[in-house]
A and B are shown apart, each in its own frame.
Chain A
Amino acid sequence: MEAPEKMQKLVIIGNGMAPGRALEHLFELAPDAYDVTIFNAEPRVNYDRIMLSPVLSGEKEFEEIIIHGDGWYIKHGIMLYKGHKVVNIDRVAKTVTSDAGTTEPYDKLLIATGSLPFILPVPGNNLPGVLTYRDLDDVRAMLLAAQSRAKAIVIGGGLLGLEAAAGLKSRDMDVTVLHVMPTLMERQLDPAAGYLLEKAVEARGIKVLTKASTKEIIGEKKVEGVLLADGTVLPADLVVMAVGIRPSGSLAKEAGLECNRGIVTDAGMRTSDPDIFAIGECAEVGGQCYGLVAPLYEMARVVAAQLAGNSEAAFVHSETPTKLKVTGINLFSVGDLGEGDDRQEIVLRDASAGVYKRLVLKDDRIIGTVLYGETSDGAWFHDLTKKRTDISEMRETLIFGQSYQGGSPLDPMAAVAALPDDAEICGCNGICKGKITGAITGKGLTSLDDVRAHTKASASCGSCTGLVEQLLSLTLGDSYNPSAVTPMCSCTDLGHDDVRRLIKAKSLKSIPAVMQELEWKTSCGCAKCRPALNYYLVSDWPDEYADDYQSRFINERVHANIQKDGTYSVVPRMWGGMTSSKELRAIADVVDKFEIPAVKVTGGQRIDMLGIKKEDLPAVWADLGKAGFVSGQAYAKGLRTVKTCVGTDWCRFGTQDSTGLGIRIEKFMWGSWTPAKLKMAVSGCPRNCAEATCKDIGIICVDSGFEIHFAGAAGLDIKGTEVLGLVHTEDEALEHVVALAQMYREQGRYLERIYKWAKRVGLDEIRRQIMGDADKRKGYFDRFVFSQKFAQVDPWSERVSGVDKHEFQPMATIAYQQAAE
């Protein structure tokens, strides 16, 4: 190319990695074209910002991450103003001026002002001790704070936040990460990988709080703690905000350059002023801003070529893989991880090794990759994506990686058959193949449960279940019928009982945890398994598990019953079927006020209002709440009604206070979730006016006490109850009924009514545990009482007070078009 007669003047604002790289290219392409001046707001030379995390953690020194030392600037004749922040660009005079008053003229200007950390707009965000994580000054401030070995809170569970947390932890601080989303790094990882990451971070002694929304940073003269939206206060001496970055474009904007999110450039990195270019995190090219180094280096290459006279050079968007730079945590993520009809996924989970791999395929090509734990094939998968390689030929073995390709894939059955007798099958219990096959033939075992009972193989973590089943099938041939266990749904091969057992055995406390550890075949479950898992977790971990609203059926989400036309019906509780003029008047007023089209008395002795519009529900509840009503939970897989007769209060045949006992039971048990709906009744004498002998649990009062019944049905099936036993006092009746309900809660399969559960586990076993074993009964009772502490919250009053308000209003209403202007 033609060398200009006189050297042009190139001024660069910013001295980060992108302009440093651009200069290297420029000096190669056109060494004598420009006289270069750099203004750097930081008082130092160009260094590798990506390596700040190792500096923070102590794995590297600052000197080791310098890219261009002072000598490089001298060698290339660059004028570097250290610690000068440019405050003005005069596009007419073509000069820039720094805060120290230095003015330099330019022929070409390159803006590389990078980005600014986003500061949460909460009170206290400017207190001493609140830092961001952006440059060496931030790292030095953190290192100073770390000397006190005190408590640090990192706000933000993205790449930067986690790296900061790991660095501070390795400096012996007590570190907690707050993340507002349910899983870490949700932009780059799917929830399954986010869950594994959270476990790995916690294993390093870093506490992680997800769904934690920061409300305020508290402290008098300096940071003393963080207040969360839920009212929790976490003490802290240091708060690091790593909640994201925004392009730093204010200087360009003031100069009148076109700015959107960032400084808008064409594909040649040229701004709306032909003599001004922008690169790095401040630039917006093709409508996108970038934060990872690969595309920023690509911008540097393009701008260098443009400055050297190649007007063809253009920036091309490409996906960049994400990797976390925390020693010992391997993760890799790139591309499009969304789901869709035209897409398929291949998922490999190896729970014991902590490995999760997911490939998203479209038209036989990989479009997205997440790897956790074992990432060595990341580059290969990324390469297949970039080259749009058709993978249909190797699809069967693709997920196993590059080294697995080429050889003929092994039939899994043949692989198990080929194992020697001393090969270990069950790692938890140290059971080898010979022991299992020996037990199958020697003891005539025919099922997985038999093998578990006799050998313990697959009885702990369950991850070898597939292998054990293959051994059964190899040993028994066609007589083995593995499908004896019906899977919960097509997302898993495990049945409900296995899932419930493993939730307890492995202390699984969230839906992503269950799906990961039990190797779910879909990433997000389905409408069958999600409500079931949600119930199991609520039932097993009442104090720790946070109910997953989006995994509940609509009725349980809006606390009313959906009807065929999309309206809802509302049923308030009438304890034991008793009501009063005041309650009836309140219901009448609500019916009039909201023009409710139908009112019906239900079979459960209460009143149903039908045809209510969804938008009206909160107002209906507010009015009912003022009259003292709570939700009747007529929609719940939980306690519905306790039907009663009038007993000794009024009836000439009554033997006990059946109304009082019914009300007592209902007040004790309302709000509890059960596998399926639970309907009860108390009759005051064997004439049984409350129809207790077709209920899930019923009580017949007799002269000598209370006869407890259970396992009746009066729906699809009709079945009289079975007798559990006779007790003598009201207190005993309550304890037995509650213990029975808790046993069912702990063992029932989701949607399995109590009569089906009882048939499955055996009436005698239930009688033995509830009637015959006082310790067991007390245990069940105590666990029920404990879980009620968290369950007895009236959902109506919660909603009236504003919880999940969004549910009841349209997001937008698009009116007819306004008259044309």
Chain B
Amino acid sequence: MNDWIEIGALNDIPRRGARCVMTPQGKIAVFRTMEDQVFAIDDHCPHKGGPLSQGIVHGASVTCPLHNWVISFETGKALGADEGSVKTIAIKRDGERIFALLERTAVAAE
């Protein structure tokens, strides 16, 4: 089941930067663009698994720090000549607060 889960506030993320969120399904990278749009994708480059959250953010895309693949936030697809894609996670904002549409697993907390 998917739920909107609060993951932080806009000002937690630097402009043209990213923060990570740990989820039961793995690490996701949450980006903030120059224009204050917020996007989330899996923190895992489709090329060699590089941590996309560590890349340089430009426009609505990020350049992977390992081998310079450019990944679009909106589609999760590699731009340019490279082919591959990464999962995108829906985000919604309520003022400063940021929510992500995440899967709640059935496993109970210990």
Contact = CB atoms under 8 A, between A and B. Distances in A.
Nearest to B19: A811
B66 interface: yes
Contact of A810 (B21, B34, B75): B21
A806 interface: yes
A816 B22 CA distance: 11
A814 B23 contact: yes
B72 A341 contact: yes
B84 interface: no
B70 interface: yes
Interface in B5-63: 5-8, 12-17, 19-24, 27, 30, 33-37, 48-51, 54-61, 63
Interface string A797-821: 0000000001000111111111100
A817 B24 CA distance: 9
Nearest to B32: A550
Contacts of A158: none
Contacts of B57: 550
A340 interface: yes
B16 A524 contact: yes
A818 B15 CA distance: 33
B59 A339 contact: yes
B21 A812 contact: yes
Given A339-B59, A817-B106, A811 B8 contact: yes
Contacts of B108: 816-819
Contacts of B54: 554, 557-558, 562, 566
Interface stretch (A432-440, A526-534, A588-596): A526-534
B16 to A, nearest CB: 4
B35 A527 contact: no
Nearest to A615: B20
B74 interface: yes
B38 to A, nearest CB: 10
A522 interface: yes
Interface residues of A, number: 43
A759 B82 CA distance: 34
B37 A338 contact: yes
B21 A813 contact: yes
B109 A525 contact: no
Interface in A554-568: 554-555, 557-558, 562, 564-566
Contacts of B27: 810
A550 B17 contact: yes
Contact of A338 (B35, B48, B104): B35
A338 B22 contact: no
A558 B60 CA distance: 23
Given A524-B16, A817-B108, A818-B108, A550 B56 contact: yes
Nearest to B75: A341
Contact of B37 (A191, A339, A523, A549): A339
A340 B51 contact: no
Given A339-B60, A550-B57, A564-B48, A816 B24 contact: yes
A190 interface: yes
Interface string A434-477: 00000000000000000000000000000000000000000000
A810 B20 contact: yes
B58 A524 contact: yes
A817 B63 CA distance: 33
Contacts of B58: 522, 524-527, 530
B109 A524 contact: no
A555 B50 CA distance: 14
B12 to A, nearest CB: 5
Interface of A: 182, 186, 190-191, 261, 337-342, 522-527, 530-531, 549-555, 557-558, 562, 564-566, 806, 810-819
Given A549-B14, A562-B51, A815-B24, 4 more contacts: A339-B35, A566-B51, A810-B19, A811-B12
Task: Report the 8 A-B pairs with minimum CB-CB distance, sorted nearest first.
Answer: A527-B63, A811-B19, A550-B16, A554-B54, A527-B56, A811-B8, A566-B51, A813-B22
